[in-house]
Amino acid sequence: MKIRIFALAKELGLDSKELIEHANAAGISVKNSALASISPEEKDIILEQLKSGSSSTATAVADEPAAPAPPPPDRSGKVRKLDQPAKRAAAKAEPIQEEPAPEEEAPQQAAEEPEVEQPVEQTAEPVAEADTETVVTEDAEADTPATAEEVESPVAETAEVEVPAAEPTAESKAPKAADDNADKVEETKAESAKEKLKQSGSGGLSPDEYVPSPHASRGKSSPREMRPVGTVQSNEQRARGEREKKRPQLARPAVAAPPKVPVSKPKPKADEAPAQKPEMPLTPEMLDRQSPLSAHMAQRTAEKDGVKRPRRGSTRMIDSPDDAQKQKRSRRPRRGRDDDDVPYGSRRRTLTRRKRTGPVEYSDAAVVELPMTVRTLSEAMGRPANQIIGTLMKQGVMVRINDALTEELALEVAMELGVELEIKRERDLEDELAAMLSDEYDEGAELEPRPCIVTILGHVDHGKTTMVDKLRSASVAAGEAGGITQHIAAYQVDHGDHRITFVDTPGHAAFGEMRARGANVTDIVVLVVAADDGVMPQTEECISHAKAAGVPIIVALNKMDLEGIDDQKILQQLATRELLPSEWGGDTEVIRTSGETGAGLDELLDTINITSELQELQTNPDRDAVGVCLEAFRDEGRGVISWLIVQKGTLEVGDVILCGSAHGRIRSMFDEHDNEIEAAGPSTPVKVTGLDKVPETGSHFFVLDEIEEAREVAEKRGHTGRSAYLAATARRPQTLEDILDQARGATVKNLPLIIKADSPGSIEAIRGEIEKFEHPEVRTAVIHSGVGGVNESDVSLSAASGAVILAFHVIADDRAALLADREGVEIRRYSIIYEVINDIRDALEGLLDPERREVQTGRAIVLQTFKTSRFGMIAGCRVLSGKVERNNRVHVIRQQTLVNTYPLASLRREKDDVKEVREGMECGIRLDGFNDIKEGDLLEAFKIEEHKRKLEDVPKKTEEDAEV
């Protein structure tokens, strides 16, 4: 059974190394390791050796040629660093010890014998530090005559040690070399031990400096574990020391006492392999002053920058917590001063954070966006939401923080709280579109002359169409139904160097609004006044429209070809209506014309040109077109056709246009002669196709970039229109008239209508006319209107509502006609608006209750009364005037006071019932329900006649009632 060295050393109370030395002295080859093992026999030999004393130790040591160099007894020398040269020396010396060891154990031995290096290192250390001040000083302080020679001698000695290490492979030389080496090592050891003893004796190592080796029992060695020789000496050591004293003194290294280094003892780990290297934690002081890397880096930095600048994150450069604080402080202002050096993100974060953490700002002016709530208003004004809620509560408005606020309420709150509030509305496309119409839109653009737009106005049949027809050399009047212009249309005429655009408007009053819209695009109004008719009411309306539009008026005194014309009379009429003719000194040009003969038309065109030149009509043709829809209708083949007149810019095929609540992309474009064109400049009337539905007459059109944008606005407009209609419908029961009707128990009779026409203008005209029929008892209700023929839907709606279908210039399709026959729905077709209006008037008057009038037929006086048990009181009367009829009613008048009115119950003459009794005759009259009749009472007999009422009659009565 093998016995471990450390176990035996423990058993004997020895150090493992001492035991190894003894074993070696006894001739037993033991690895210089506490883990080495020996056999029991060898143990006995060692024990014997120990018992026999130390006398033979020196011999035994001398006889061990290959014994590893024992650790130097003197380990009290300063160990500050492990120099590579020393390591190399130790490594070279190692093979000397390997000779007697088995081959398989050699690597382990080499690994397990760092201790062997230590002595060499200890020996070599002075080589590195021989010139240090500390060593010299210590040496100088030593009482031994340590001279420079002594200090240098280890260098030579170490060099000698290295010599044999340089030839380790020469096995034959090994014993001798080993002997020499061993001798020298022994000498070194002896010297070191001697030196230590000397130091110990002279106070070089105080008892306090003794550091017991925690690993001594395990036979480990480290600089800290080195035990000062001299404090505990074995017999052998003592003997060796005596022997060495006899030897010549060699130069010894000056070894200083180890410094007091607070070392934390590493906790041994159970499973961990024993440390083979000395553990020496580096203290901050050592790092600070001795780290070659840090010193090198500091030097490099200083050389590079010229100034010593601490590197971020370098603990080395921060000497103390105060220094670290100074560093932080010095960084902060630099970040603020030099913005370029600060990363964008970090600077922004800092600014934002500062802003957030600031106090709440109570501003006197605030901007809030719609839609707004109490919360958003609170945030915008910098006032607490509770304050806003409280303010509103005082006004009787109960809101919560997330409730929406109207603009009015918000403004009231702002006024109450003394805040100037600006309400920002969301991007209003309508405003942007309106801006496109303004002159500012073309500011700075290059403007070019444009044709003037002339609108011809005048009373019906005064010759407008004939005049334009003559100008265009085309017959338009001949094709018109009833000889009345139903649609606005426009034409262009070239005269001289100018092109003139004529807009022909119907002269009838029903088209007043269309005419007014026509005037909106107008530069000049030509007022046609028939010389044989003079100024008519509708002429006056035209003058008003033209003046309201602020456009110059040129009077065309037409039909001058007729005989017996008194033009002076017409001029007089014009003058009284603020149109003083130029020939009378005024500024109104009056041109005598004849549409029939064409006389005066050139002069009229010349006058138009001169007037337009005076106006200097210019516009920007290079922009998105805007203009007005003059008329629109649905064509069976081409879909929706819209008459547009371009006011500004140039309209092109493919443009996206928005017109009222209609939108679309222009598919095709036609001029007045139905020639297809690609573009239309300013003041050009065109017919276009491509809109999704029939646009409203008089609505502006705009060219937009995106079809989606146009659709969005069109839908919004359509929605707004429906909302307005619903709102109007919802408000209707709330009118005062309705409330009064309900109180009176009166019922208003509606005439439901469905209007289908060929164009929006026609519908508008019909609506405008029938809305004039105002009556408290009857009214029209247009439940549906649309452009196009009568379809099944219209008939179904009519059947359900009892509405009358008015088909103006349109007919019903076959299926609708069949359905109408089946449902008994009447479809009334019209081509002239007069007929429509007359029929509507008749229908409304037919709905009126007839007027009941009291018609007195005769008067009778009561001469005598007879009371019968069967019939009650009977009055004997004489007819004073007229006649009394059986079906009359009677006012009983007593002493000139009306007692009451009663129907006649019986009328008799001489016991016979008669139908009537004439003046001067006597009769018996019994009244129904009245027996208190007396002599002298006057009976007025009357009958009720019903008279059909007229719409015109009723308003007068209503006005009288209102006055009452």
Ligand X SMILES: Nc1nc2c(ncn2[C@@H]2O[C@H](COP(=O)(O)OP(=O)(O)OP(=O)(O)O)[C@@H](O)[C@H]2O)c(=O)[nH]1
Stretch in the footprint of ligand X (CB under 6 A) among 559-567, 670-678, 747-755, 845-853:
559-567
Specify whether the CB–CB gap between 867 and 962 falls below 8 A.
no
The binding site for GTP consists of 458-465, 504-508, 558-561
Nearer to ligand X, 451 or 595 (CB): 595
State the Cα angle at 417 between 415 and 422, rounded to 5°. Answer: 50
Does residue 572 sit in helix, strand or coil? helix
**Whose CA is closest to 848, among 771, 768, 953?**
953
Shortest approach of ligand X to residue 485 CB, angstroms? 3
Specify whether the CB–CB gap between 737 and 777 falls below 8 A.
no
Nearer to ligand X, 535 or 805 (CB): 535
**Whose CA is closest to 669, among 649, 690, 683?**
690
Nearer to ligand X, 462 or 687 (CB): 462
Give yes or no for residue 558 binding ligand X (CB under 6 A).
yes
Shortest approach of ligand X to residue 470 CB, angstroms? 8
Nearer to ligand X, 473 or 897 (CB): 473
Among 99, 561, 709, 792, binds ligand X (CB under 6 A): 561
Nearer to ligand X, 61 or 560 (CB): 560
Nearer to ligand X, 600 or 685 (CB): 600
**Strand pairing report for 897-909 and 912-913:** antiparallel
Among 484, 656, 710, 939, binds ligand X (CB under 6 A): 484
DSSP alpha helix (H) spans, 477-557: 512-520, 537-549
Shortest approach of ligand X to residue 853 CB, angstroms? 41
Give yes or no for residue 388 binding ligand X (CB under 6 A).
no
Give yes or no for residue 595 binding ligand X (CB under 6 A).
yes
Nearer to ligand X, 487 or 648 (CB): 487
Tell me, residue by residue from 492 to 531, as one string, x for binding to ligand X by CB under 6 A and - for no binding: --------------xxx-----------------------
Give yes or no for residue 412 binding ligand X (CB under 6 A).
no
Q: What is the largest CA-CA distance in the chain?
A: 199
| 693, 694, 697, 699: CA torsion to nearest 10 | 10
Nearer to ligand X, 196 or 508 (CB): 508
Among 559, 687, 693, 949, binds ligand X (CB under 6 A): 559
Stretch in the footprint of ligand X (CB under 6 A) among 73-81, 137-145, 402-410, 594-602:
594-602
Give yes or no for residue 761 binding ligand X (CB under 6 A).
no
Beta strands in 795-835 (DSSP E): 804-808, 827-830
3-state secondary structure 866-893: EEECCCEEEEEEEEEEEEEECCCEEEEE
Shortest approach of ligand X to residue 655 CB, angstroms? 33
Nearer to ligand X, 390 or 483 (CB): 483
Helix axes 464-472, 601-615, angle to 10 degrees: 90
Instruction: Give the residue at shortest CB distance from ligand X.
Output: 463
Shortest approach of ligand X to residue 653 CB, angstroms? 32
Nearer to ligand X, 5 or 556 (CB): 556
Shortest approach of ligand X to residue 471 CB, angstroms? 12
Give yes or no for residue 101 binding ligand X (CB under 6 A).
no
Peptide bond into 310 cis (omega under 30): no
DSSP alpha helix (H) spans, 473-600: 512-520, 537-549, 567-576
Shortest approach of ligand X to residue 858 CB, angstroms? 56
Does residue 567 sit in helix, strand or coil? helix
Stretch in the footprint of ligand X (CB under 6 A) among 208-216, 591-599, 621-629, 730-738:
591-599
Tell me, residue by residue from 458 to 477, as one string, x for binding to ligand X by CB under 6 A and - for no binding: x-xxxxxxx----------x
Place of tokens 């160097």: 497
**Strand pairing report for 827-830 and 804-808:** parallel
DSSP annotation of 487: S
The number of residues that bind ligand X (CB under 6 A) is 22
Shortest approach of ligand X to residue 456 CB, angstroms? 8
Give yes or no for residue 485 binding ligand X (CB under 6 A).
yes
Shortest approach of ligand X to residue 596 CB, angstroms? 4
In sequence order, the β-bridge partners of residue 884 are: 917
Query: CB-hemisphere CA count at 13 Å for 527?
Result: 29
Report how far residue 235's alpha carbon sits from residue 897's, in angstroms, rounded to the nearest whole number.
171
The binding site consists of 458-465, 504-508, 558-561
Give yes or no for residue 562 binding ligand X (CB under 6 A).
yes
Q: Which amino acid is at 881?
A: S
Place of tokens 């602020």: 550
Stretch in the footprint of ligand X (CB under 6 A) among 378-386, 402-410, 481-489, 819-827:
481-489
User: What is the residue-wise DSSP string for 717-782?
Assistant: HHHHHHHHHHHHHHHGGGSHHHHHHHHHT--PEEEEEEEEESSHHHHHHHHHHHTT---SSEEEEE
Stretch in the footprint of ligand X (CB under 6 A) among 377-385, 590-598, 836-844, 876-884:
590-598
Specify whether the CB–CB gap between 250 and 157 falls below 8 A.
yes
Helix axes 760-770, 512-520, angle to 10 degrees: 130
Give yes or no for residue 596 binding ligand X (CB under 6 A).
yes
Ramachandran category for residue 377: left, alpha or beta (phi over 0 → left; psi -120 to 50 → alpha): alpha
Shortest approach of ligand X to residue 479 CB, angstroms? 11
Ramachandran category for residue 624: left, alpha or beta (phi over 0 → left; psi -120 to 50 → alpha): beta
Shortest approach of ligand X to residue 484 CB, angstroms? 4
Helix axes 16-25, 5-12, angle to 10 degrees: 100
Does residue 284 sit in helix, strand or coil? helix
Nearer to ligand X, 465 or 888 (CB): 465
Nearer to ligand X, 346 or 475 (CB): 475
Tell me, residue by residue from 340 to 369, as one string, x for binding to ligand X by CB under 6 A and - for no binding: ------------------------------
Stretch in the footprint of ligand X (CB under 6 A) among 181-189, 445-453, 457-465, 925-933:
457-465
Q: Of residues 875-904, which lie at the interface with ligand X (CB under 6 A)?
A: none
Report how far residue 370's alpha carbon sits from residue 195's, in angstroms, rounded to the nearest whole number.
99
Does residue 818 sit in helix, strand or coil? helix
Shortest approach of ligand X to residue 604 CB, angstroms? 12
Shortest approach of ligand X to residue 834 CB, angstroms? 11
Stretch in the footprint of ligand X (CB under 6 A) among 141-149, 455-463, 600-608, 940-948:
455-463
Nearer to ligand X, 466 or 780 (CB): 466
Place of tokens 């600014």: 351
Query: Is residue 211 within a helix (H) or strand (E), and if so which, with residue range?
Result: none
Nearer to ligand X, 464 or 517 (CB): 464
> How buried is 826 (Cβ within 10 angstroms: 0-12 exposed, 13-18 middle, 19+ buried)?
exposed
Q: Name the site residues for ligand X (rule: CB under 6 A).
A: 458, 460-466, 477, 483-485, 506-508, 558-559, 561-562, 594-596
